Amino acid sequence: MTRTPRPGDTDVVLFVRSLGTRIAGGTRAVLARANLYAGLGYRTSLVVTGLLEDDGAWVRAQGLLHPDVRVLVLWRDGPDDVDRARARDTEPIEVPRIAAGPGVKRRRRTVEDGIQVRTLVDGTLRTIELLDPATEEARQLVVLREDGTRESIWSFAHGSPIAVDHLVPNGGRRREFVVDGRAVWLEAEVAGHVGAGDARLRLRDEPVGDYAGAIAHWLDARFASAERLVVFADGENVWQRALRLMRHPRLGGVSVLHNSHLSAPYDASAPTQAAWKGFFSDTTNVDVMVCLTERQRTDLLARYPGLPLRVLRHAAPRPKVRGVRRDPDSVVFIGRLAPQKQLDHLLHAFVLVHERVPSAHLDVYGTGRDEASLKELAAELGLEPGVDVRFHGGTAQALHAFAGSRVAAMSSLHEGLPLTLTEAMSVGTPFVAYDCNYGPAEVIRDGENGFLVPRDDVQALADRLVQVLEDDRLARRLSRGARRVTSSFSPRRYRDAWRDLLDDVARRESSRSHTVARS
C-alpha cells in the first residue's frame, strides 16, 4: 500500500512566463494555485521561463505571491557551477551600442516603462534602448537593420545582458541565454510556442534536443533529490512538452487547459488544435488532465476516450471592495485586446446600445496587439474617445472596475473559464456574453445572473445590454443573482478540489507513460 504523502515530502512545480505588472487571467490562476500549495506546506516552486529581471518583487509587494513560494528563473537559475566556471574564462559579451561620431544622433524621451534612447546614423534609426528611470541602467536594446526591420533584441538585468534574441525575416527567433554577462550557456529556437525548436548547451557543446527539452533537462537536475515531484503544465505551450520530456523517477504530472482545445470554427465540427492534438495523443508523465468546464470534458472524452480528465474550476474571490460607486451607464470589458476576444463585435454592439441609451459608455480595461486597431475602429464608428468609449489600459484592480459598472460584456470567439466571469459576479455585476465554447455557460444562468446570447449575434448582444441598462429592477435582480456565485464557486471548494488532486497525484509511486488513440 502506498502511504499517504505528507506535504513536506512533495515538491510542487508550476510555470509562468513572467511576473510583470500586467498579469493575465491564466497567470493569476497559476499564482492562486501556487499560493494554495505553499500555504498547505508543500515545497512550491514557480518556474519563470521568460526574462524576469527580479525575483517577482512586484507580485510579492502586491500580496499576489505567498512568501514561501520559491521563484526559479530559467536564464538566472538554469546555469550550474560548471557553466559559471567556464564562463569566467571568457571575455564579457560586447553589447552592440553605437559610439558617438559623425552622423550619429541620439534622441531621448520619457516613456511609460522608462527612458528611451533612439540612436540614428545618417538619419536612419539603428538602435532603440530602454533605460531604468531611476538608475539609467539598460533594460533592453533593439538593434535595427538598415531597412528598419529588427535584427536583435538584447535583454538586461541590473545593466548586464541576460539574453539576446536574433530575429530572422521569416519570423523565426533564436534566443541566446547569457550567464553572468560573459557567455552564452543555452541557445534555442524559441519562436514556436510549444518549444520544439533545436537547443544546445553551448558551453558544454551538448545538444538537448529542443527548447522544451532544455527546460526538462534543467528541472530533472534541479529536483533530482526530490522524494516526490509534481509538475503542473498550464496551457498549450512549451511547458506541456517539457513535462512530457522530463525523466525524473518520482514524477507526477498535471496538464491544465485554460482555453478551448478547438480550432476554427470553434464548435462541435471543429478540428482539435494542432498543439493540443499532440498533447492529447501523448500523455507521457500526465497523471491527470484538468479542464475547467463539464462541457469541455464531455467533448474531449468523445474524441479521446482514454484521457485522464478531471474538472476543476476557478474560485470566485471574496469581495473586498469598499467605497466604489456603481456607474449606472457603464458597460465594462476586462481582458486581453486580442482577436479571440472579438472586441470589434463589442464595439459594433455598443454603437447600437448608444443609439438607444445615449448616456451609456463603454469602459475597456486591458492591453494587447489589437489596441491601436480597436481605437481606430471606435473612431470610425463615431464613438467619441474618452466619452462614449474609454480605453483605460491594464488594471490590477479588476474587482474595483467591475464593481463600478452596471453590466459586463464578453464577445469572445472561444473561452476556457475566464476569471473575469466570477470576478464580476462576486461584486454583483451581471454579465452579458456570447454562448461560446466553453466558459460562459458554466457560470451564467440566463435571466438569473446575466444573459447568454448566440455567438456572433451582435444585435442580440446589444439588445440584452440595453435591457440591463434601462431596467433598474432587472439590473438589481441580476446583481443579486450574480453575487451567489461566491457559493457555487467558493474558495473552500476550490481549495479542497486542488488539494485532493495534488494528494492523488503525489500518492502514486511513479510516473506513468501512456498514449491514447489519435483523433
Residues 264 and 353 reside in one and the same domain: no
pLDDT of res. 438: 85
202-255: pLDDT as tens digits? 999 988 899 999 999 999 999 999 999 999 999 888 999 999 999 999 999 999
Kindly state whether residue 336 falls inside one of the protein's structural domains.
yes
Q: Are residues 351 and 307 in the same domain?
A: no
Tell me: do 306 and 331 sit in the same domain. Answer: no
Count the helices and strands in the chain (H runs, E runs).
Answer: 17, 23
Spatial contact of 487 and 500, defined as CB atoms under 8 Å apart:
no
The residue ranking higher by pLDDT, 404 or 512, is 404
Higher-confidence residue of 267 and 382: namely 382
Q: Tell me what the mean pLDDT of segment 328-339 comes to.
A: 95
Q: Per residue in 285-294, pLDDT tens?
A: 999 999 988 9
Give the residue-averaged pLDDT of 58-66: 89
Per residue in 100-109, pLDDT tens?
A: 999 999 999 9
Say yes or no: 246 and 162 in one domain. no
The CB density around residue 51, as the number of other CB atoms within 10 Å, is 22
Average pLDDT for residues 172-190, to the nearest whole number?
93
Task: Give yes or no: residues 444 and 412 share one domain.
Answer: yes
Same domain, 61 and 181: no
Concatenate the DSSP letters of all residues of 181-204 into one string. Answer: TTEEEEEEE--STT--SEEEEGGG
Q: Are residues 61 and 143 in the same domain?
A: no
Enclosing domain of residue 136: 104-196
Reported as half-sphere exposure (CB side, CA atoms, 13 A), residue 239 has a value of 23
Task: Return the CA Rg of the chain.
Answer: 25
Q: Is 67 within a domain?
A: yes
Kindly state whether residues 280 and 429 are assigned to the same domain.
Answer: no
| Predicted pLDDT of residue 301 | 94
CATH number at residue 150: 3.90.930
Whether residue 514 has pLDDT greater than 50:
no
pLDDT in tens, 370-401: 999 999 999 999 999 999 999 999 887 889 99
409 neighbors 396 (Cβ within 8 angstroms): no
Point out the domain boundary residue: 277, 311, 345: 311
The pLDDT of 167-191, averaged and rounded, is 90
Residue 207 covered by a domain: no
Q: How confident is the model over 134-151, as pLDDT tens digits?
A: 999 999 999 999 999 999
With cell 456607474, the residue in question is: 327
Amino acid at the residue 432: V
How many separate domains does the chain show? 3
Calculate mean pLDDT across residues 84-105: 94
Whether residue 278 sits in one domain with residue 371: no
Beta bridge partners of 131: 115, 138
Mean pLDDT within 6-32 = 87
The share of the chain scoring above pLDDT 90, in percent, equals: 73
390 exposure class (CB count in 10 Å sphere: 0-12, 13-18, 19+)? middle
Q: What is the pLDDT of residue 46?
A: 97
Going by C-alpha positions, the residue among 315, 313, 291, 314 that lies closest to residue 303 is 291
| 334 vs 100: CA distance, rounded Å | 45
Report the CATH number that the domain containing residue 73 is assigned in CATH: 3.40.50.2000
Same domain membership, residue 456 and residue 357:
yes
Here the cell at position 242 is 517539457
CB atoms within 10 A of CB 272: 21
354 and 445 belong to one structural domain: yes
DSSP 8-state code for residue 8? G
Per-residue pLDDT band at 509 (split at 50, 70, 90): low
Q: Could you tell me if 347 and 477 lie in one domain?
A: yes
Predicted confidence at residue 446, as pLDDT, reads 95
Q: Is residue 234 part of a domain?
A: yes
Q: What is the mean pLDDT of the chain?
A: 91
With a pLDDT cut of 70, the percent of the chain lying above it is: 97
The reply to whether 430 falls in a domain is: yes
- Write down which residue in 254, 284, 311 finishes a domain: 311
pLDDT at 517: 38
Indicate whether 279 belongs to any domain. yes
Residue 516 lies in a domain: no
Residue 216 domain flag: no
Task: Give, in degrees to the nearest 5, the angle at Cα 293 between 288 and 295.
Answer: 110
